[in-house]
Amino acid sequence: MDTFNNFLPLLPQLGIGVANLAAAFLFLYGLHRMASPVTAPSGIFVAGIGMTVAVLASFLYAFDVSAAARPNLPVNLGLVVLALVTGSGVAWWAGRTVAMTAMPQMVAIYNGLGGGAAGAIAAVELFGAKAVGMSAMIVTLAGALIGAVSMSGSLIAWAKLDGVIKQPLRFKGQQLFNGVVLLATVVCGVYLVLATQNQSMLVLALPTSIYLFFAFALALGIFMTLPIGGADMPVVISIFNAFTGLAVGLEGFVLQNPALMIAGMVVGAAGMLLTLLMAKAMNRSVANVVFTNFGEVKKQKQGAIQGSLKPMQPGDAGIAMRYASSVIIVPGYGLAVAQGQGKLYEFVKLLQSGGVDVKFAVHPVAGRMPGQMDVLLAEAGVPYDLIFQLEDINDQFATTDVALVIGANDVVNPAARTDKSSPIYGMPILNADQAKKVLVVKRGEGKGYAGIVNALFYGDNCDMVYGDAQAVLIKMIEAVRGLGLPAVVKKTK
């Protein structure tokens, strides 16, 4: 009995350790399953269970009888439960109701909340003087800086994506100004480290220094993101995703929480890898992304474009594809805005029933966030084996009868290959212009996100189908069905 009574106080700590270990395993296993589009949905579910385990494990701290060693640690279970219920309810409602076109904004907001959570943990450690020792202080402040930058920067990214901020804000000497803000943040951090180790150095009260540190860090995130153009938001989101993961991992180290450390480092590493891929897809270096106004496009005189725009009726375009042998479809943000992915797949199935070979080509930075086009097509039920990435399908355009571009612009602009004066020169693009026939579905004659005219639209082999993507696809479907042609039955071995 005495042995049991001696073991009882250790149960909460044992439960916390087991829960953290289980959460870490579920995070890693879930991420592993996300490597394939086929298993990604179950991977997200598994990782969600891991997060639930990690959150519920936090309650064990409240019942840890060894908390007597931490008498200054307040526990308010009612407030914790209220926060969990409110947060879970809002997240569930938002996840169920968010439109596909608003998904980038949602990701930016949630990413910012992750950075804010890491910053809040650091604030508790700093104001409560729980970060003991120089190394603990340095790690805590590093997590606080990165988390605060990610939070405020992500909020600006959300505002840009949602149209609240419509234009980049740039001024002369902006990089120098940002450097001064960063330097002020670092100075406050160094002062906090030294002052906590030697109280005789106190010139400014510690709480005031902590407030200044967070104020400068939040301002840095804002001023870093304001000059970035909307076309570079996919890179911005991936960078701040990496920042948030790194901040969470650092604060997990401070708290000695394995689940936070593993989840944070995995997210940070994945975010950085994604940033490298996005930078490569836009022909930018990571240094250019991090240390310059990489959204800034200097005004350059674009090379003269030969040819003229040739409009085509939706019905004629649909019939042309029905009589083609092969079609490659390039989806873009315009398809998401029109919410036409369902009608697109309906049209694709109609073409397939006529024996047309149909494939999808997705550019790494198509849309407003990484992977948005893949999610869009998956939502419509498009089989994964029909979706190809740039490097896997680019060589096939030259032998394709029709390339259908829906709502995409800069990612198919041949000026990136041929016009050295173009701001996007050198950016890898989908070779849609090399198809025998190109059909472009577009709402009007406006320019793309990069603000330049697309030479593809003026090509001899290109016709423009103007209108909302969903409305155009409906007319294409009606035209093909009106032909009354029988479906082709494919023979199976």
**Which residues are tagged catalytic?**
410
Following DSSP, what letter does each residue of 301-359 receive, concatenated?
PPPP--S---B--HHHHHHHHHT-SEEEEEE-HHHHHHT-HHHHHHHHHHHHHTT-EEE
DSSP label at residue 399: G
Cα gap 203→192, rounded to integer Å: 11
Cβ atoms of 339 and 100 closer than 8 Å: yes
Nearest Cα to Cα of residue 440 among 471, 468, 466? 466
CA 450 to CA 422: how far, in whole Å?
Answer: 10
CB count, 10 Å around CB of 63?
13
Contact status, residue 266 vs residue 207, Cβ threshold 8 Å: no
The count of C-alpha atoms lying within 13 angstroms of the C-alpha of 275, restricted to the half-sphere facing its C-beta, is 20
Rounded to whole angstroms, the Cα distance separating 213 from 148 reads 10
Dihedral sign for Cα 333, 335, 341, 346, please.
negative
What SS3 class is residue 268?
helix
d(CA 261, CA 252): 5
Tokens of 209: 């220094």
Give me 270's structure tokens.
């994945």
Comparing CA positions, the residue from 200, 25, 189, 214 lying closest to residue 118 is 214
- 32 three-state secondary structure: helix
For 266, residues 6+ apart whose C-beta sits below 8 A from its C-beta are 27, 28, 31, 245
Q: In this structure, are residues 222 and 156 in contact, taking their beta carbons and an 8 Å threshold?
A: yes
DSSP, residue by residue, 102-126: GHHHHHHHHHHHHHHHHHHHHHHHH
Residue 421, Cβ density class (10 Å: 0-12 exposed, 13-18 middle, ≥19 buried):
exposed
Residue 51, classified by CB atoms within 10 Å of its CB into exposed (0-12), middle (13-18) or buried (19+), is middle
143 and 251 in contact (C-beta within 8 Å)? yes
